[in-house]
Amino acid sequence: MNSNHHITRVQAFSYRCPIPAPVETSFGRMLDRPAVFVRVEADDGCFGWGEIFANWPAAGAEHRVNLIDRDLSQLILGQGVGDPAQLFRSLSQQTHVRALQSGELGPFRQCIAGIDIAIWDMKARAAGLPLRKLLNANSPDQIPAYASGIHIGQAEAKIARAREAGFKAFKVKVGFGLRDEAQVVNALAGGLSSEETVFADANQGFDLVQAKAFLTGVEQSQIGWLEEPIVADAPDSDWRSLAVSTGIPLAGGENIAGLAEFKRIIVQGYLKFLQPDAAKWGGVSGCFEIGRAIVTAGRIYCPHFLGGGFGIAASAELLAAVGGPGLLEVDVNPNPLRSAFDLAGIDQNSGNWHLSSDPGLGCASIPYEIESYLSHKIECTVR
């Protein structure tokens, strides 16, 4: 593939998979598992896959597919594929007024992110290289990982199952207003081996006073980080006040968007672990650039992700390409929209995630097993 090739086909698919029990966070419950996958194809037949964030709002998945159909397809079809980062910037600029007019900055960013992932997948597939090797020839073939999505009320049993699967690090969701959350986390930390780590994620569920109280309560356990203890858009002064009050590192980034804002947060210095979500903002173009800036600044890049198979593959490839001591987030709640994909996955001995040697993201198609969960589909072609 060269710069003379152009996009001739765009497809978007939304899926909804029933689950036996809701996935709960401090701000809401997921009653099913949604995913939006996007496929782009060029005039030479080469194709690529991406994923668009669709967890929230509850009706968001089908909306993202319609957004691709009605607003973005006209801006994508016919575009060259030689420089995905330039197309990412162009789409962001072209849709800025539409996003402001509709108050939908997030949905536009998310759709552009998924399209960008797909174009990079196509570019790496055409080169015959895994995406990480296209981005960085020295990328490793395995990366550290941690088990995520563990509700504090079910943590003991879920950590035990994740340990059996090979994980050595675990992230527990807190911020539900329970009085004894710090004590529960302390007990969990006390039951770990010397090789294991526990993290906590409040999903913006505390105010500043509550966050400081929680951190004081778990200080003895030295948990690996506290993620999003307060709202992501809280004043810098609140974040700084929290950071200097504790020896426990703070983490965040899934609800930050834009190179300028990420770079501003890096300079502020209150986050040790920064967690861009490639399916929410940036795709490969934005997250690879900001990931390198994070590592250069002496912080740790840990991609956030809680979705389907293409998204976790993209997150893993990005982490390997960026480098540093960061870990891959792996949701351990049931989700066939992720588990049906043929991903190498976790190594039971090392706790590392093994990456595919196949070109691109390592996933060439949507698994047949999940077709019954298809809820909406569009296809746009050059006519």
**pLDDT single digits (tens) 306-340:** 999 999 999 999 999 999 999 999 999 999 999 99
**pLDDT single digits (tens) 108-123:** 999 999 999 999 999 9
Q: How far apart are CA 154 and CA 21, in angstroms?
A: 12
Does position 245 have pLDDT exceeding 60, yes or no? yes
Crossing angle of helices 259-268 and 283-296, rounded to 10°: 20
User: For residue 345, what pLDDT band results from cuts at 50, 70 and 90?
Assistant: confident
Higher pLDDT, 222 or 185: 185
Which pair of structure tokens corresponds to residue 92? 């962001």
Does position 383 have pLDDT exceeding 60, yes or no? no
Question: What's the DSSP call for residue 258?
Answer: S
- The tokens 């039951």 sit on which residue? 191
Q: What is the DSSP string of 128-168?
A: TSBHHHHH-TT--SEEEEEEEEEEGGGHHHHHHHHHHHT--
**pLDDT single digits (tens) 125-148:** 999 999 999 999 999 999 999 999
- Alpha carbon distance, N-terminus to C-terminus of the chain: 22
Is 173:151 a contact under the CB 8 Å cutoff? Answer: yes
